[in-house]
Amino acid sequence: MVVVLSGVIVSLVGVLLGAWWIPFLAGAGIALVVGRPLIAIPAGAAVGLVSWLLPLAGIQVRYGLGATASSLAAIMGFDHRGAVPVILALLVGALLGVTGAWLAGAALTLARPSPR
Amino acid sequence: MTTAPAVEERPAFGTGVARQPRRPIRGFVNLAASALVSGAVLYVAFFPAGPLPALGPSFNPATGAWTMAADAQITDRTLPLAGLEQPVRVVLEPNGTAHVTAQTDHDLFLATGYVHARFRLFQMDLMRRQGAGRLSEIVGKVAVPTDTFELQLGLLRTAQAEWNALPAGDPSRLGLIAYAQGVNDRIAEAESMHQLDAMFTLLGYRPQPWTPIDSLLIKGDMTQTLNFTDTPLVMALLNKSLGADLTSEWFPVLPANQQSPYDTGPYNKAAPTPIAPVVTSSLVTDAAAQSVAAVYDRLAALPAGLLARGGESNNWAVAGAKSASGGALLAGDPHLHLTLPAIWFQLTMDSPGYHAAGVSIPGTPVILIGHNQHIAWSLTDAQNQQTFFYLEKEDASHPGMYSWNGAWKAYTTVAYDVPVLGGATQHVTVKLSVHGPVISERGQTTSVWWAGNVPSQDLGVLLRVGQASNWSEFRAALRDWYSPTHNFVYADDVGNIGLISAGYYPQVAKGQPWLPMPGTGESDVVGTIPYDDIPQAYNPPDHIIWSANQREVTADYPYYIGTASNFFDPGYRADEIHRVLSQPGKLTASDMAALQTDTRDFLASEIAPVLLKSLDGVKLNATETAAVDLLRSWDYRMDADSPGATIWAYFWGWYVGETFDPWWKSRAVHIDMGEVYDALGQDLEAWTLHDPGNRAFSAPGVGSRTAVDAQRTAFHRVIADLAKQLGSNPKSWTWGRVHTRVLENLAQIAGLNYGPRPDRGDAYTPLAARGLRSTEGPSWRMVVDWGSRTFQGVYPGGQSENPSSSWYTNRVDTWWKGSLDPMLSADDATGGSGVKTWSLHP
């Protein structure tokens, strides 16, 4: 849990500073520390999701997200369906965490000495 | 995805030697799969893919497009601005109108640059890129033809020349420098706060620093939109296909119909030069026609808005003697492509040396239309010919040269690089003759002389216009306005009115400027009409003055200024405005606003009664009879709920087609008839009223006919067509069912458009709305009453380009209804409910 929490904090700070790709590294870091992909991959997803979700929630609280989400949907050709860019954003965050954890976990597994 | 194989211990069922290879293989497969998926995710996160922007930077909630939400918030602020000399106050009304009050002129322009960029930076960047031929850099190869054309045409060269010609210390030079500083202050602020407009984020680029040349480029964009025309090419192709005889007859220099010029003379010129008929013989050679067709096709393929396609703007003034308030009245509604964000930004600019209120074009530091303490002004396009095409004489024995004034001259060349997003940089080499840039080398080399390429210090002129306090100063300021030629209407605080069509009126030594001319020297542009002789009027005896893109002068005017076809408007809006203004009685500001939204079609008021007479005694079916009844009771107004309007509009189109289509077919005319629709309409109007036996009605294949026959045939066909489209009950054929208006997003994102919505008006009503899906219209409406010192205005859209801002479309409803908002002074606006104030300091 500490590892996950640390990952969230690191990712969140990175995202807030504009380094939106940090969840990928955080996911990888979790996989390297935890060492068990079955745990690391969901944890990476959670870290990515939360680190992108919290700033969005902040925008919602401060300014409201509806008009912006609706505009982004219109720009993307989704006819003002504001849920689409929100879901897409959260998906990107989660995928960054997942793929970071999966890639690092897979590399770690291969690098580990084989059981005899 | 699977995670199990990498860690799971499986029971051995073979030897240890046999067991070992399975694990690395599965591990490698897992690693490869994870690398592949990670690569894909990272790729779409880092790079654009198809229609998707780079998802990471775009959707990053802290610095991506979501920052639109924060950008949409307007609060009271105190902020430092680099370059300011003294504190500046910016008051923002609840509807977004900005009032900039500075203690020095320098600070006024700097703060104006900041305010413009705060709300319209992407629009400004897009417009400078268009003029500089740099759109491909952000949108890819789709914009290469546009960029290449712009670099050939030369807005960038002209902007550079204009900048270089401004002496150090010139007020407009200083203003441009200060303005650029203000824009760059905003760029720096937006980048530091991660609040660049979302379109920058989505397109994946950052704006370059603003320069004074960028402002001049935007001025050039407007000049091109308003007066770069392909009309001589159209005339040449008509000459070649339709024939010299019909071209001369149908596309004359002077309009075939009766019009309402505002300057009726007397004119100054000792020995008037008679205006020759358009064409008397086939002058267009095959090589010339090939070249002309190539240029025409190329221009036709450019995006809408890069070529002048006629105007639909109105302005007028009423002297104090005819005004109910006793003060002069002024009304102006320039019609342009209606975009979101709009072309205009409303503000008041106040400093010790400059006070003006009205609308500005983001990217430029001045008020273009508005008022100061003593005068008000508005403008329409004057429509005179400012584009001339030349066929250069070349010879294989003189490669890279052209013959001019009896000698061979080498073309000069200018090379440009056009960066292309996702593609190789394009290299464009522009050839220039003495006439201007070469724009086609197919068949015969064609170059273009365009007044927009003559350096014109329009921004300096507008500064002086804003500082003028009477007609004399106003007129003196406009002496240096060259292009685009505009009808500047004027009204002042002591009851005077005036109108002057300021700009260049190029005159050629000899030849037929409405066609491409030989480039060998004898037909070169040799000058312009002297300023005192250009169309103008001051305090006319009937106390009214008006312009609506119509030919400004009568047939007695002794200079050539353009042909009736496609340069000048057919005149119906001017006729209607003149009709309303010249009625007895005093006029009010409300009358001005009502006339701006007038939907009465003057052409219909002339022709519909003739049609009804032509249908007398004709056997009609029930639907046709009902349609006739509707036309009889119709008030000639193109209102959205009017079925008569629909019947009229469709009838006129069918009548034009019935008359001219057979000619087009029989002579295989290359020109889309829609391009000369207004010119043909003027002919048809004149023949219908005064020459119903004209040979045009008896086209090959239709036999001998008159206007009456053509009207009857067109009527039968149009009613059948409408019944098929809209049902058999003509009462349900309301104009709003078929006629809509849309405000289009500037970046061509359909989801950010406003509309289409059913709307009133047509191309010939003062409230103009050309076509069935109209995208042009009154881009700003202003009414000034100097008697009560009330100023009102509105434009469709809002002050912000941010679609999630409440100021993106907040003015549309007011505009659509035909209402106006008060144009408050900074003092009046200060302290009102919902007002925000920015305190800018050095």
Q: Is the pLDDT reported for residue B279 higher than 60?
A: no
Mutation for B interface: A72, A91, A98, most B CBs within 10 A: A72
Whole-angstrom Cα distance, residue B837 to residue B825? 14
A68, closest residue in chain B (CA to CA): B804
Higher pLDDT, B566 or B743: B743
Pick the range with the lowest mean pLDDT from B171-185, B361-375, B645-659, B820-834.
B820-834
Contacts of A38 in chain B (CB under 8 A): 3-4, 7
Q: Return the pLDDT at B4.
A: 41
**pTM > 0.90: yes or no:** yes
Q: Is the pLDDT reported for residue B278 higher than 60?
A: no
Q: Return the pLDDT at B274.
A: 40
Q: Is the pLDDT reported for residue B383 higher than 50?
A: yes
Residue B128 in contact with residue B120, Cβ under 8 Å? no
Q: What is the dihedral of CA B790, B791, B797, B800, to 10 degrees?
A: -100
The DSSP bridge pattern shows strands B345-351 and B790-794 to be unpaired
Confidence check on the interface: ipTM exceeds 0.90, yes or no: yes
Contacts of B65 in chain A (CB under 8 A): 68, 72, 75, 85
Q: Return the pLDDT at A91.
A: 95
Whole-angstrom Cα distance, residue B393 to residue B520? 7
Q: How far is CA B622 from the centre of its chain?
A: 44
At a CB cut-off of 8 Å and minimum separation 6, what does B302 contact? B145, B146, B149
A38, closest residue in chain B (CA to CA): B3
Residue B45 in contact with residue A92, Cβ under 8 Å? yes
Q: How confident is the model at residue A113 (pLDDT cuts 50, 70, 90)?
A: low
- Put simply, whether A64 touches B (Cβ < 8 Å) is yes
- Put simply, whether A113 touches B (Cβ < 8 Å) is no
What H or E segment, with its residue span, contains residue B793? strand B790-794
Could you tell me the two tokens for A51? 């680190």
Residue B578 in contact with residue B260, Cβ under 8 Å? yes
Whole-angstrom Cα distance, residue B495 to residue B615? 49
Give the position of tokens 């009879």. B625
Interface touch A62/B70, C-beta < 8 Å: yes
Whole-angstrom Cα distance, residue B362 to residue B219? 10
Percent of chain B with pLDDT over 90: 85
Mutation for B interface: A81, A109, A112, most B CBs within 10 A: A109
- Put simply, whether A84 touches B (Cβ < 8 Å) is no
Q: How confident is the model at residue B285 (pLDDT cuts 50, 70, 90)?
A: confident
Extended beta strands in B419-520, E state = 426-432, 438-440, 446-450, 486-492, 497-502, 506-508, 517-518
Give the position of tokens 């392909």. B230
- Put simply, whether A90 touches B (Cβ < 8 Å) is no
Interface touch A67/B804, C-beta < 8 Å: yes
Q: Is the pLDDT reported for residue B737 higher than 50?
A: yes
Interface touch A71/B3, C-beta < 8 Å: no
Strand-pair partners of B408: B403
Contacts of B194 in chain A (CB under 8 A): 18
What H or E segment, with its residue span, contains residue B545? strand B544-547
Strand-pair partners of B389: B448
Whole-angstrom Cα distance, residue A90 to residue A48? 8
b/e code B125-137 from CB counts within 10 Å (16+ = b):
bbbbbbbbbbbbb
Whole-angstrom Cα distance, residue B733 to residue A84? 39
DSSP assigned state of B695:
G
B30, closest residue in chain A (CA to CA): A106
Q: Return the pLDDT at B273.
A: 42
Q: Return the pLDDT at B713.
A: 97
Q: Is the pLDDT reported for residue B9 higher than 50?
A: no
Tell me which residue of B394, B333, B282 sits closest to B592, measured CA to CA: B333
Contacts of A109 in chain B (CB under 8 A): 6-7, 27, 30-31
Distance between A2 CA and the closest CA of chain B, angstroms:
23
Q: Return the pLDDT at B598.
A: 98
A35, closest residue in chain B (CA to CA): B7
The pLDDT tens digits of the residues spanning B782-796 come to 999 999 999 999 999
Contacts of A55 in chain B (CB under 8 A): 61-62, 66
Interface touch B749/A74, C-beta < 8 Å: yes
Partner residue opposite B7 with nearest CB, options A37, A73, A96: A37
The pLDDT tens digits of the residues spanning B651-674 come to 999 999 999 999 999 999 988 999
Tell me which residue of B628, B645, B624 sits closest to B717, measured CA to CA: B624
Partner residue opposite A59 with nearest CB, options B42, B45, B61: B61
- Put simply, whether A70 touches B (Cβ < 8 Å) is yes
At a CB cut-off of 8 Å and minimum separation 6, what does B50 contact? none
b/e code B645-663 from CB counts within 10 Å (16+ = b):
bbbbbbbbbbbbbbbbebb
Whole-angstrom Cα distance, residue B820 to residue B181? 34
Average pLDDT over residues B806-822: 97
Partner residue opposite A74 with nearest CB, options B55, B72, B752: B752
Q: Return the pLDDT at B787.
A: 98
Q: Return the pLDDT at A114.
A: 58
Helix ranges restricted to H, B439-480: 458-467, 471-478
Average pLDDT over residues B682-697: 97
Q: Is B718 exposed, middle or buried (0-12, 13-18, 19+ CB in 10 A)?
A: buried
Whole-angstrom Cα distance, residue B513 to residue B524? 9
Partner residue opposite B61 with nearest CB, options A55, A64, A74: A55
- Put simply, whether A97 touches B (Cβ < 8 Å) is no
The DSSP code sequence of B267-318 is: ---SSPPPPPPS-SS----HHHHHHHHHHHHHHHTSPTTSS------EEEEE
- Max CA-CA distance within chain A? 60
The pLDDT tens digits of the residues spanning A38-95 come to 899 999 999 999 999 999 999 999 999 999 999 999 998 888 899 999 999 999 999 9
Q: Return the pLDDT at B468.
A: 98
Whole-angstrom Cα distance, residue B44 to residue B24? 30
Mean pLDDT, chain B, whole residue set = 92
Whole-angstrom Cα distance, residue B79 to residue B193? 13
Q: How confident is the model at residue B271 (pLDDT cuts 50, 70, 90)?
A: very low
Q: Is A58 exposed, middle or buried (0-12, 13-18, 19+ CB in 10 A)?
A: middle
| Residue B263 CB neighbour total at 10 angstroms | 22
Interface touch A95/B804, C-beta < 8 Å: no
Q: Is the pLDDT reported for residue B822 higher than 60?
A: yes
